[in-house]
Chain A
């Protein structure tokens, strides 16, 4: 645990250094594509002085100066499968983005979808020592949370203090300075497979880059595609990627649950390729051009030319109707949505005051998906696209870029995590030293 604390703190320091240098790269390592954005931080918000203009959710501070996408190779289920291939793909994306930005980036914040994320709710409470809550009390209450048995080979990815409670008052965002007796905290812990993170670190090191932060793809796409009241009142973001579908539930602007289904758009493509006996590239093409999930009578008459290079003329010149294609796609999409439904049920999504569901990610662009999702998940379903950030190219504004845009927001305004607070000075030596230091500072 201390080890994790140190490494995450080191990562946070690196992120600070990157922001001070002004340029940071964001890397979304997905199953179907690897997207890279280069952000330039302009220092303090330049619009801050202007009357009547807010900070635009912190977006005025940065600008996207480079963007590149490349087809991902060697990633399966949102996890790195073939290291060398992935490394090459990362190199391609980073180099293209660097070229567009015309600057060199050294720091990278990455996100990925897979690695079997698991959520834990932690609670801890502690007596306030001085009557008034100070940083040390916050540190102690965070340290008092019992770590659940996360299992061997797991690593904590996010640890957000979601809620502070002081005596009978709950829902405090920042308890410092409050007067009370008993301080309690609710924390949300997200763990992932350790090996996945290590592979990621290895790949990024091989590209001569420094990892300045890791985030869960489900979390960051929720940050970018949910609007503010959805974040506040409770909503779920479903990021339908290529190899994994991430689910994150937000409440009071905190993520309270995240999980992933190891199914995605690539499985749909695979089904089409198997069902129609066409190459994967052709399957992907007819999926994106003609795909859908709701069949109508018109679709029987709409014939799709299949092409192939098998050499067999009869096989390569087949035609299928769009209804057939939909018949292949729909069960798989339904399966994905059913799995998501199961996850939401397990997380107790029904009990949230507002039950907005936002579909985003590349696979959410299937026509008719919102109708199908409304049937399976509930009525409040909408399709989400990422927030518009400054300088983002038009090509990168689609819903498949919601996680990388979310990374930009995450980089500009990171949420306080457990390791951002000071470590509790539990040992007597450290404590007395601290007190001596404070005494010196106050008297001279």
Chain B
């Protein structure tokens, strides 16, 4: 049976033939050039070169040509510096105030003088580590921490060394802390009469031992004038009336305790002597003063005489 609407049997003249496009269908085969290019592209070396080598080369060449000009290079550096400065000088990064905690007025002044740049300055311009090290080099400063707080505040927290002892040297009196580190120079001994005094070469190296001795010698402190380091190895305890107690090199505090025990038993320190040698713990030796010696001789003579008389 025929369909109601049949295909046109005869084509109109202006209507293109249906078969024409089919005849013109493209050849599926690649052209020789396309084939060769495809093969070239599939070569691993060419591929790697095109994908990596050529872009790298092009970028390098472009940059090289662009930067070849001296003025352009300088401009670029200038621009970079400008941008850097602009960012660094933004108000968010500015430090306008320095707050120092825990420092005496002298140290405070010194720390402020050490600040490398005048405030207000950018926080990038302050090398905090360097500044901290500089501050830590001060003798009076034991520990320091520096923080840039928000609001442009440079907070310096200082822990000062506490003077524990005075050291009389040829040049003057130095204040030392409990480890023997110098704190400051003292011009007047009377200004810190509460601190004990040591003297002698190398005394600062043995400050802990000296403090130990002084701790042990607490009962006789009012009579004590100070400690003298002898030969950089042992201490002499100097009392008033030019009395000197020679302490041993080892365990001087024990020797002082023995001395106090002797004193309690025999009232030793009230005697008139110039030197009490405790270096040999088996045999404390006493050197009498000249008048005491005379008295002793007189008393001894009387005794002999008394003995001789009967």
Contact = CB atoms under 8 A, between A and B. Distances in A.
Interface residues of B, number: 18
Interface in B252-299: none
B270 to A, nearest CB: 103
Contacts of A199: none
Interface string B14-33: 00001100000001111010
Please indicate which of the listed interface residues B18, B27, B32, B35 has the most CB atoms of chain A within 10 Å of its own CB.
B35
B189 interface: no
B39 interface: yes
B7 A95 contact: no
Please indicate which of the listed interface residues A70, A98, A102, A104 has the most CB atoms of chain B within 10 Å of its own CB.
A104
A91 B29 contact: yes
Contacts of B19: 309
Please indicate which of the listed interface residues B6, B28, B29, B38 has the most CB atoms of chain A within 10 Å of its own CB.
B29
A88 B29 contact: yes
B130 interface: no
A313 B6 contact: yes
Size range of the interface on A? 10 to 19
Contacts of B35: 91, 95, 207-208
Contacts of B7: 313
Contact of B30 (A91, A103, A208, A309): A91
Given A91-B35, A309-B19, A104 B29 contact: no
Given A104-B43, A309-B19, A92 B38 contact: no
A99 interface: yes
A92 B6 contact: no
Contacts of A208: 35-36, 39
Given A89-B29, A92-B29, A311-B9, A99 B18 contact: no
Nearest to A312: B9
Interface string A202-214: 0000011000000
Contacts, number: 40
A120 to B, nearest CB: 38
A312 B43 CA distance: 53
B300 interface: no
B42 interface: yes
A207 B19 CA distance: 32
A103 B30 CA distance: 17
Nearest to B34: A95
Contact of B18 (A91, A95, A104, A309): A309
Contacts of B10: 311
B9 A98 contact: no
Contacts of A98: 38-39, 42
A404 B9 CA distance: 46
Given A91-B35, A95-B35, A98-B42, A313 B30 contact: no
Contacts of B29: 70, 88-89, 91-92
Contacts of B28: 70, 92
Contact of B38 (A88, A99, A312): A99
Interface string B26-67: 011110100110110011100000000000000000000000
A98 B40 CA distance: 11
B30 A92 contact: yes
A312 B19 CA distance: 14
B47 to A, nearest CB: 9
A95 B30 CA distance: 8
A337 to B, nearest CB: 34
B251 to A, nearest CB: 79
B1 to A, nearest CB: 11
Interface string A75-108: 0000000000000110110010011001110000
Please indicate which of the listed interface residues B19, B30, B36 has the most CB atoms of chain A within 10 Å of its own CB.
B30
Given A98-B39, A98-B42, A103-B42, 20 more contacts: A70-B29, A88-B27, A88-B29, A91-B30, A91-B35, A92-B30, A95-B30, A95-B35, A98-B38, A99-B38, A102-B42, A104-B42, A104-B43, A104-B44, A207-B35, A309-B19, A311-B10, A313-B6, A313-B7, A313-B9
19 contacts: A88-B27, A89-B29, A91-B29, A91-B30, A91-B35, A95-B30, A95-B38, A95-B39, A98-B38, A99-B42, A102-B42, A103-B44, A104-B42, A104-B44, A208-B35, A309-B18, A311-B10, A313-B6, A313-B9
Interface of B: 6-7, 9-10, 18-19, 27-30, 32, 35-36, 38-39, 42-44
Top 7 nearest A-B pairs by Cβ distance? A88-B29, A104-B42, A92-B29, A91-B35, A104-B43, A95-B30, A104-B39
